[in-house]
Amino acid sequence: MNVDALDGRLLFAIPKKGRLYEKCIDMLSGADIQFRRHNRLDVCLVMNHPIALVFLPASDIPSFVGNGNVDLGITGHDVILEANMQDKVTEIQRLGFGKCALQVQVPEGGPIKSVQELAGKRVVTSFEVLAGAYFDNIDSEMQLTGDNKTKIQYVGGSVEAACSLGLADGIVDLVESGDTMRAAGLHAIATVLDTEAVLIKSSVPKHAHHTPLIGLITSRIAGVVAANRYVVCQYNISRNQLSAATNITPGRRAPTISPLEEENWVAVSSMIEKKAAATIMDELVKVGAKDIMIFNLDNCRV
């Protein structure tokens, strides 16, 4: 693509592959960011906004946003910390997908049962910065110095195999379902941090004329996130039980309450968390709610 075609466009970095890619594409669709990415091209123009999408490795995105000319990006919270870019980028919003934990894992049948027992031994990881800082604290607490400190070694992949292949006594790696670790005979003894995908921008705005567009895209993505997280719960309730019912469904701001023709009854509409919908409906039944219905959200603004 001709670089001149990018002039004046907001640059938005998206993970080019991996666990975040498909979710990002769905989110862009929900935000009505229309584009067509051609094979083998890592830059494409958005058709309905002055935006260019740049597809990069997720681990590189914080640096391009913090130090380069990229205005927005989607990456993992863990990647920002590993790249030491937390002072140069701002996390606008957590996106609700790509959730996993950076954990310390050791052989399940082995003698090591705690991070204190692992301290001073060999740890293999793809997260040198985060693992190093974590074990520096453990070493300091245990007064380990010099050659007695924990040895952190970097490998780029197959971290879970390091223990069985004799390279490590323990590992630090991202864990989503845990299936891979269990298959390797490992189990968690500590969590370094919990992470998920985040929308980021530079802490120092680079292009003032893009500020309104950044606000628009941020608002749309926030709406997509909310639509994935919430559903609308609608029900009828007598005014005598209204207080108890609205305590169950307080909504994101407040529930919408409308009078019904039947005396002393009202209709209530409220946004509730999708994952809690079944339990909330059960609680509403207990306080006398009738005609309880759940509606999925395709999109919204919050």
Q: What is the pLDDT of residue 46?
A: 94
Helices (H), 193-276: 211-229, 242-248
CA dist 176 and 206 (Å) reads: 35
Residue 178's pLDDT is 85
182-236 confidence digits (pLDDT tens): 999 999 999 999 999 999 999 988 888 999 999 999 999 999 999 999 999 999 9
Q: Which two tokens stand for residue 109?
A: 């049948």
Non-local CB neighbours of 236 within 8 Å, separated by 6+ positions: 260, 265, 266, 267, 268, 289, 290, 291
User: Is 232 or 144 the better-scoring residue by pLDDT?
Assistant: 232
- Over 60: is that where the pLDDT of 4 sits? no
CATH number of the structural domain 100-195: 3.40.190.10
CATH of segment(s) 3-97+197-206:
3.40.190.10
Residue 1 pLDDT greater than 50, yes or no: no
- Quote the percentage of the chain above a pLDDT of 70: 98
Tokens matching residue 13: 């970095």
DSSP 3: G
Can you tell me whether residue 232 is helix, strand or coil?
A: strand
pLDDT band at 265 (very low <50, low <70, confident <90, very high): very high
Q: Average model confidence (pLDDT) for the chain?
A: 93
Does position 271 have pLDDT exceeding 80, yes or no? yes
Q: Rounding to the nearest 10 degrees, give the CA dihedral for residues 247, 251, 254, 255.
A: -80
Same fold, 3-97+197-206 and 100-195: yes
Please determine, for residue 15, whether its predicted confidence score (pLDDT) is greater than 80: yes
Query: Which pairs from 134-142 meet CB under 8 Å and 24+ separation?
Result: 134/104, 134/172, 134/192, 141/116, 142/116
- The predicted pLDDT at position 5 comes to 57
Q: Is the pLDDT of residue 39 over 80?
A: no
Distance between CA atoms of residues 253 and 227, nearest Å: 15
CA 87, distance to chain mean position in Å, is: 19
Per-residue model confidence as pLDDT tens digits over 150-182: 999 999 888 999 999 999 999 999 998 888 899
Q: φ and ψ at 57, to 5 degrees?
A: -60, 135
Closest CA to 101 of 199, 196, 225, 200: 196
Would you place residue 37 in the very low, low, confident or very high pLDDT band (cuts 50, 70, 90)?
confident
CATH topology of domain 230-296: Alpha-Beta Plaits (3.30.70)
Domain ranges, ordered by start, for the chain: 3-97+197-206, 100-195, 230-296
Give mean pLDDT, residues 60-67: 96
Please indicate whether residue 177 or residue 117 has the higher confidence score (pLDDT): 117
Question: Across 31-45, 196-210, 281-295, which has the greatest mean pLDDT?
Answer: 281-295
Taking the C-alpha atoms of residue 31 and residue 233, their distance in angstroms, rounded to an integer, is 24
Contacts of 258 (CB under 8 A, 6+ apart): 266, 267, 268, 269
pLDDT at position 302:
83
Using CA atoms, how far apart are residues 186 and 175, in angstroms rounded to an integer?
A: 11
Q: Which residues contact 266 (CB under 8 A, 6 or more apart)?
A: 236, 237, 238, 239, 242, 257, 258, 259, 260
CB atoms within 10 A of CB 283: 16
- Amino acid identity of 28? L
Q: Is the pLDDT of residue 2 over 80?
A: no
